[in-house]
Structures are given as structure tokens and as C-alpha cells.
């Protein structure tokens, strides 16, 4: 299982989407969390 969590919050799950994330997807979520 490949998952990306930030501060305990799941922001991406390969298991749910059946694919790895694009780098831009992860950076977009991180940027929106800082706003």
C-alpha cells in the first residue's frame, strides 16, 4: 500500500485510486494546506 499522509491526514492513497500520484498532485495539496 502506498499512501501519503501529512499530520495524520491521508492526502493520497494508491490503494483507492489504483495509481501512483503525480508530483504536482502532492505539491498542490501541500500548497493548499499552507494557505
Domain ranges of the chain: 3-34
What distance in Å separates the CA atoms of residue 33 and residue 17, rounded to the nearest whole number? 21
- Diameter of the chain by CA atoms? 29
Contact indicator for 17, 29 with CB cutoff of 8 Å: no
Separation in Å, CA 12 to CA 9, 30: 9, 11
What distance in Å separates the CA atoms of residue 24 and residue 35, rounded to the nearest whole number? 17
Query: Which pLDDT does position 35 carry in this prediction?
Result: 72
- Mean pLDDT of the 9-26 span: 97
What distance in Å separates the CA atoms of residue 27 and residue 6, rounded to the nearest whole number? 12
Give the pLDDT band of residue 30 (cuts 50, 70, 90): very high
Amino acid at each position: 500500500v502506498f499512501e501519503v499522509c501529512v499530520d495524520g491526514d491521508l492526502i493520497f492513497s494508491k490503494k483507492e485510486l489504483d495509481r501512483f500520484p503525480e508530483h504536482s498532485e502532492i505539491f498542490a495539496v501541500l500548497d493548499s494546506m499552507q494557505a
